[in-house]
Amino acid sequence: MQGYLAKRLLQGLIVLVGASILVFVLVRATGNPALLLLPPDATPADIAALTAQLGLDKPIPEQYAIFVVGALQGDFGTSIQLHRPVVELLGERFPNSMRLGGIALLFAVSIGIPLGTIAAVNRGSALDALARGIAMLGQSIPGFWLAIVLGAIFAGQLKLLPAARADTWQSYILPVTTIVFTGFLLSGTIRFMRSGLLEVLSEDYMRTARAKGLGEVAVLTRHAFKNAAIPLVTFLGFYITLLIGGASLIVETVFAWPGVGPLLANAVLARDFPIVQAVTLIYVTGFVVISILVDILYAFLDPTIRFT
């Protein structure tokens, strides 16, 4: 296990370095942010002065070295557009995105696992068709459309729920509902749970367990769930990284949620390099860490798995 973890950590470090270099170069290929900050009649001398002030006149390798040294010290620089430390901005935004994503994930798992289980146990029944229909509907509905419709009805016409804010529990209802019931969060949970159980329930050792007199509930809880959960854990691990990185960008934008999604979107449009670099690095770090944790969790779900 220790050798495997060391290898994965090394792989993760390589991914981090590669991703940081790629993003660092690509964001600078979009153009000089000084051109957006200065008026149209700015002279070349004004552009050059602001470029130097932003530290963008140095060679890219030198800029990257400065960024890495600062990042290792927890300093991601100052926002070009907002003139505030990036760490301070992320400290305000990331908790909001993580709370929103965490609550949505909790509801999706609480709904999706039971529905997937019921669908697998009652394969071919009306309950199975209902669960598969819910999953298909969730994949078909565009997130931005549902967000606009829910906001227009419950916040605009009925005025029952706030359309923007993150200071009360009511403000979570519309964005969480949108995240859960669109995209692949709920539908993926249902599908992976159903397919995983269907595969496990057809195994010989499941028939042996039933032949020994175990009830269906005992067969599911003692033997089926652990093995069936492996694909689901992989899916949820991947989706957690998306939520951490602000995957609910559209939802956060529609509901004016003070999360990392709108911050990143505005930073891309404004060529705010420090914010884009910091969010990307944190996202990739989260992806690497969670993927390693998911691999470790495999060993607890299936003791036959050996790490090499």
Q: Give the Cα separation of 225 and 193 in Å (integer).
A: 9
Tokens in use for 107? 């509801």
Residue 161 has pLDDT above 90, yes or no: no
Residue 149 has pLDDT above 70, yes or no: yes
Q: Give the Cα separation of 102 and 242 in Å (integer).
A: 11
Q: Average the pLDDT over each of 72-76, 201-205, 228-232, 272-276 and give the range with the smallest value.
A: 201-205
pLDDT score of 184: 82
Q: Which amino acid is at 16?
A: L
Of residues 219 and 109, more confidence is placed in: 109
**How much of the chain, in percent, has pLDDT values that exceed 90?**
22
Residue 245 has pLDDT above 60, yes or no: no
Q: Give the Cα separation of 85 and 75 in Å (integer).
A: 8
pLDDT score of 302: 66
Q: Give the Cα separation of 173 and 151 in Å (integer).
A: 10
Task: Name all domains of the chain by residue range, CATH numbers in brackets.
Answer: 92-257 (1.10.3720.10)
Residue pair 127/118 in contact (Cβ under 8 Å)? The answer is yes
Token pair 């692949």 in the structure block, residue: 184
Other beta carbons within 10 Å of 25: 11
Q: Give the Cα separation of 232 and 301 in Å (integer).
A: 11
Other beta carbons within 10 Å of 136: 13
Q: Chain centroid to CA 266: how far?
A: 18
Q: Tell me how long the chain is.
A: 308
Per-residue pLDDT tens digits for 267-282: 988 899 999 999 888 8
Q: Which amino acid is at 46?
A: D
Q: Average the pLDDT over each of 134-148, 152-166, 204-218, 256-270 and give the range with the smallest value.
A: 204-218
Q: Which amino acid is at 20?
A: S
- For residue 85, the cross-strand partners are 78
pLDDT score of 216: 66
Q: Chain centroid to CA 50: how far?
A: 35
At 210 the three-state DSSP class reads helix
In terms of pTM, does the model score above 0.85? no
Other beta carbons within 10 Å of 90: 18
Averaged pLDDT, 200-223 = 70
Averaged pLDDT, 74-83 = 90
Burial status of residue 43 (CB atoms within 10 A of its CB: 0-12, 13-18, 19 or more)? exposed
Instruction: Give the angle subtended at the CA of 68 by the CAs of 271 and 56, to the nearest 5°.
Output: 40
Q: Chain centroid to CA 240: how far?
A: 5
Q: Give the Cα separation of 117 and 115 in Å (integer).
A: 5
